[in-house]
Amino acid sequence: MEILAFGVQADEKPLIEHAFRDHHEVRCLDVFLTEDTAPIAAGYEIVSTSVNAELGGRVLETLAAGGTRLVAQRSTGFNNIDLHVAERLGMTVARVSYYSPHAVAEFAWTLALAVNRRIVRAATRTRDFDFRLDGLMGRDLHGRTAGVIGTGKIGEAFTRIAHGFGMRLLGWDVAENPACMELGMKYVHKDQLLAESDLVSLHVPLMPQTQHLIDAAALKAMKDDAILVNSSRGGLIDTEALVAELREGRFTGIGLDVYESEAGLFFLDRSLEAIEDDTLARLVTFPNVLVTSHQAYYTEDALRQIVDATVRNVLDYRAGRRSENVLVPHS
């Protein structure tokens, strides 16, 4: 049986092909699964998708009509999948429920440090042999307050690094993490966390309850000189509200690895095209904003774990087994 994998990055392709070599043939495509590309999957019982795949009702119906019975998504998040439609169509949907939390947590810190110490501006200057320090002043993080919104595996890993910096730790989540509390974290109401934190990092999933968790009111509650980092899901932040606050000269730095309208942009080369997204175009012009293209998970360690879990999901499907990765089981 041949598996069709959409949205495969160049670095990812050899890992996928190697992982499946003893089990199934796999055809890797660099195009992403969308309503336009879904017909390519006709005749493939198993389709593997990337985090930015479009898996709404119309796409799922096209896949099902072409014979697809399993969608194996290579990510933890699944807010892009209409699970109710998949269930109605009798499709199995699986994801990767776990991979290295350190990959994302370390990258979140990369963003935080880069905007705090003006690394991008400094590197751009020195490439032009401009070695002035004007405008490059940062702040010590030691002794300051880190607010961690979402203290699961990734949030815990982020907290451990913050503890290493000697920061005061505040947390907000639906459930307290004992490991974070052992590090000295104090759980508080979200409003208090936003008001007192010098650095706020987001590590919660995107769902209806967390859509625009950081809205206009939340942004206004933050310190004027705070740093905000989002390496989770773009929809957690109301981007238009964020742009409005940035225009007022607020915030020391914003580090975003995700964007709420990233589909059709991230993972693609759009450098020779006019960008129609005015909000994103405005966002990247601010000197205190750093935007990267959803790469926090993109380490060799994490990718190997993601690919290995995807292989297990396919094998479980073929054997009729169900694991914690299954979102919609066999009908």
CA distance 77 to 60: 17
Q: Is 290 in contact with 115 (CB distance < 8 Å)?
A: yes
Whether 74 is catalytic is: no
> Which residue among the candidates 74, 203, 294, 312 is catalytic per the annotation?
294
Strands across the sheet containing 46-49: 25-28, 2-5, 46-49, 70-73, 92-94, 326-328
Which residue among 12, 156, 260, 262 is the active-site one?
262
- Alpha-carbon distance 219 to 238, whole Å? 9
Let me know: does 93 contact 326? Beta carbons within 8 Å: yes
Told to judge if 294 belongs to the known catalytic residues of this protein, a careful annotator would answer yes
Three-state DSSP state, 329: coil
Q: How far apart are CA 90 and CA 280, in angstroms?
A: 38
Helix (H, G, I), strand (E, B) or coil at 237: strand
Q: Which of 74, 233, 250, 312 is catalytic?
A: 233
Pick the closest to residue 151 from 214, 227, 203, 199 (CA basis). 203
Choose among 261, 254, 247: nearest CA to 202. Answer: 254
Catalytic residue ranges: 233, 262, 294
